[in-house]
Structure 1
Amino acid sequence: MALNIYIDISSLACPMAILEGTEKSEELEGYIHDLIFVKDNLNSSLVQFWGDVNLPDLLVESGLYPLFSDIKYLLIETGLDSVYHPRDVNRVFELLVKKMPFSQPLINSDVTFENISMAPRMGISFDDDVKDAQDRAVGSLAFAHSIGEVTAGKTILFADIAEQGSNSAKVEGSVSTATWHRRHNGPDVEYPFDLESEFPYVRRISKWHESLDCCNEVEHCYNSGALAELLSIGVAQRCAQGAKGRSWRLGGELYNNFNALFLRNDRTASKAFFESCLDTIAMANLPQTHQLRKGMGGNSGARTQGNAVAWRRDIGHDYHLHYWEIDGLCEISNIVMHNDFSISRCSVE
């Protein structure tokens, strides 16, 4: 798992704030994109969502959760009813509220706080019960970070932060008691236990990946699915910078090669591997590539499988990426050592 994303579920409540003109339209469309993003990534191999298990019920009681009529009214008022049907938006929201596994897998604990604060605060805090639930949730997150259960740099808050202009939130407080199951080695805990942790946050979760440094996350990909998702984000980032996109896929042995060569333990090599995959998809840095041949001689013909042609891309001197090109699609098959010229069969043919 590369990243944990804590969702303050009140941020998925329909934005009923009084806004004007295009600002209201942009806010509502951003909200819809957030709902769709969370739904589409519930089974992601790259990120894990979590939140307070009690907050959804509190939000229902407080009236903050949207009703069908609220969504319908806002879509009509902003003119977005021609793009989104209110019933569809409401259905996605209900799916998340009823089906999303809101839990706290980062730390299995029962924590009692003497005091807890967050700066800047989450925006929806006028209901005391909701405010207390928000504080307990981020306090538990800070406690998990302080005892070594999570890394702040790998955890993102998705919350409606009241103060704009900052990109991180500081959580401070003191824990008086806690019952929890340790999963990783960490410091002994003596109470009262003082907390001070800082976490990056995003206002729009559907845009969280735009600033993600994908190359630094490769070492946290523990299966092929996570690697493919991370590559998809990297490709999207390159396309946003002007690169041309095209169809691609990962061969079944690529992640196994990555794992067998222990590249996760070599940050420089893992970053170079990831960049080479992106270059292959974008057809960039072509001087680093040449066709794989049937034999060792320079006059030996290109290695093919049906219409697929095998290629080799240099990753420095020690490693090489082997891939197939077929009808505008590339299949990245293997990463190998310098003297290895093998390539797995193309799955497309």
Structure 2
Amino acid sequence: MHSLPSVTIDAGVLAVPHVDCAKDDAFQYVDTLLDWSKLLDEPWVAIYMSERASESLFADGLYPLRDQLRELFNAHGIVEYDVNTVARIANQLLAITPSFETYYRVKDVLSEHLETDPDVIRLTTHDGLQSDLARCITLIAVLRKHCSQPLGGHSLILREAPKQVIQVRAHIHELEHSRDDIPVLPCPPELFEGDVLVCDDFRGLIDCLDESAILVGASDDLGIDLAVRIALFKNAIAQGDSPDWSGVVVPAIGSRFRELCQQVCADQGDSVPPKILRSIIETIKGDNLPAVHALRTGPGGNDPQRMRGSDKAQRRDIDREFHLHYWECADGTVELASVVYHNDFSIPG
């Protein structure tokens, strides 16, 4: 998939809590670390760390060394997890290459009077972590405002995210980079203003992603699968469920679905992709059945339904103009075939 959704993990997420912290905080730290480590195995997201993450953690005495983790585990009776496993995960995350700065070709920023709303900078009182977070937030805000975003967007993972969108204001004196798409930034006393998407758990990360943009911009079926999976996940949450990401059942993607779906999206603009995703959700969940009709071999109501062996061709109304064609397979699964205009009754086999 072209231009993967991406995240930068703030070093503060990996900062080992003080041994005197509350027991719940100690357990939450380990749970959070293990949860984010699962992203390492996901093919659809690119993960980055600041090149100064390790340096900041060491400077503040918060690097998750085995001795510190063992002391934390012993103090709070943590036996459910293995110290070596947690230390290995922390090191694995901190060793991710390339760094955020290298990948996005932004080296450093000289700024002052940084304000974020809500104030996430002061969620940590440690100088090294605070400085690195301020630098990363400023750089991400500049990239988000002036540069092409990764498909689905870029999120900053924090230990605590009070709000999904953080407003950023700062005096920027100098930006060191090697990009050709960043314009001249406002000079002090004029303020730079931007925003950053942040999250502190997996559900928050998925909520930050734009499934419609992913559907339209996907360069392969992995991207289509991801867009549909996100839409189904968000729908389940909206219905009050607690979905398991790995358990989300996504329909098969037909060989020409991406091409034909994106063709319609390109012709019609931003209003159509959300409708397509809604109709796919309805198809998977068996909702809005009056919108479903047998796709027949001819124009007559008595003409036989198109078949592919034992699979039945179906036509679901997206709206008056557009329709979702899919195969209702004999094994009970669904294969998405095409998105078509009203007068098109074809379906790829």
Q: Is the 2:11–2:49 Cα contact (8 Å) retained in structure 1?
A: yes
Of 196, 201, 208 in structure 2, the residue corresponding to residue 199 of structure 1 is 196
Q: 1:208 aligns with which of 204, 210, 226?
A: 204
Distance 1:28 1:314, change over 3 A: same
Check conservation: 2:137, 2:196, Cα contact below 8 A.
no
- In terms of mean alpha carbon deviation, does 332-341 or 50-59 score higher? 50-59
Answering whether residue 35 of structure 2 is matched by residue 39 of structure 1, we say: no
Moved more, 295-304 or 314-323: 295-304
For each residue in 1:178-198, what CA deviation from the matched residue of structure 2 results, as whole angstroms up to 9, or x when unmatched? 3434444x6544644632223
Distance verdict in 2 for CA 1:78–1:294, change over 3 Å = farther
Report the counterpart of residue 30 of structure 1 in structure 2.
Answer: 32
Residues 1:237 and 2:234 are matched in the alignment: yes
- The alignment status of 1:115 with 2:112, answered yes or no, reads yes
2:65 matched to 1:67? yes
Is the CA contact (8 Å cut-off) linking 1:169 and 1:200 kept in structure 2? yes
3-state SS in 1 of match to 2:155 = strand
Pairing 1:260-275 to 2, within 5 Å after superposition: 260-263=263-266, 266-275=269-278
Query: Aligned letter for 2:203?
Result: K
Decide whether the 8 Å contact of 2:34 with 2:89 is kept in 1: no
Partner residue, 2:217:
221
Query: Which amino acid letter does the alignment assign opposite residue 348 of structure 2?
Result: S
What does residue 289 of structure 2 align with?
Answer: 286
CA contact (8 A) 1:14 1:66 kept: yes
How much does 1:21 deviate?
A: 5.0
- CA distance in 1: counterparts of 2:19 and 2:197, whole angstroms: 24
Question: Is the partner of 1:261 in helix, strand or coil?
Answer: helix
Structure 2 equivalent of residue 50 of structure 1: 48
Q: SS of the residue aligned with 1:64? A: coil
Would you say 1:175 and 2:172 are equivalent positions? Answer: yes
For residues 267 and 21 of structure 2, the distance between their equivalents in structure 1, rounded to whole angstroms, comes to 47
Whole-angstrom CA distance in 2 between matches of 1:178 and 1:289: 55
SS of the residue aligned with 2:169?
strand
Displacement after TM superposition at 1:53 (Å): 1.6
Q: Distance in 1 between matches of 2:286 and 2:198?
A: 34
Cα deviations by residue, 1:177-230 (Å, 9 ceiling, x for unpaired): 33434444x6544644632223242222x2224545756545663333223112
Take 1:105 and 1:226, find their aligned partners in 2: how far apart are those partners? 25
In structure 2, how many angstroms separate the alpha carbons of the residues matched to 1:72 and 1:253?
54
Quickly say closer, same or farther: Cα 1:33–1:179, change in 2 above 3 A.
Answer: closer
Whole-Å separation in 2 of the counterparts to 1:149 and 1:106: 13
Residues in 2 aligned to 1:295 and 1:302: alpha-carbon distance in whole angstroms? 9
**Paired residues of 1:118 and 1:172 also in contact (CA < 8 A):** yes
Is the 2:8–2:100 contact (alpha carbons within 8 Å) kept by the matching residues of 1?
no
Q: One-letter code of the match for 1:35? A: S
Q: How many residues align?
A: 334
Partner amino acid, structure 1, of 2:40: K
- Aligned-pair identity (%): 21
The CA deviation at 1:124 is: 3.7
Aligned counterpart, 2:343: 339
Tell me how far 1:332 sits from its aligned partner: 0.9
Deviation by residue 1:155-186 (Cα, 9 ceiling, x = unmatched) = 4321234xx755543433222233434444x6
- In the alignment, structure 2 segments of 5+ residues that lack a partner are none
Is 1:94 matched with 2:98?
A: no
Indicate if the aligned counterparts of 2:19 and 2:71 stay in contact, CA closer than 8 A: no
Within-5 A mapping of 1:120-135: 120=119, 121=121, 123-126=123-126, 128-135=127-134
Structure-2-length-normalised TM-score = 0.79
Q: Hey, what does 2:136 align to over in structure 1?
A: 137
Q: Distance in 1 between matches of 2:104 and 2:209?
A: 26
Superposition deviation, residue 71 in structure 1: 4.7
Query: Closer, same or farther in 2 for the Cα pair 1:315/1:167, shift >3 Å?
Result: closer
* Residue 256 of structure 1: how far off its partner (Å): 0.9
Aligned partners of 1:67 and 1:90 also within 8 Å: yes
State the shift of 1:239 in Å.
Answer: 3.1
Segments of structure 1 that go 5 or more residues without pairing to the other structure are none
Tell me if structure 2 keeps the 8 A contact 1:8–1:157: yes
Deviations 1:276-329 (A, max 9, x none): 111111111111112222333322222222332221111112221111122121
CA contact (8 A) 2:320 2:342 kept: yes
Q: Deviations over 1:242-272 (max 9, x none)?
A: 6896552222311111222244751111111
Counterpart CA distance in 2 for 1:79 and 1:116 is 43
Q: CA deviation at 1:110?
A: 4.3
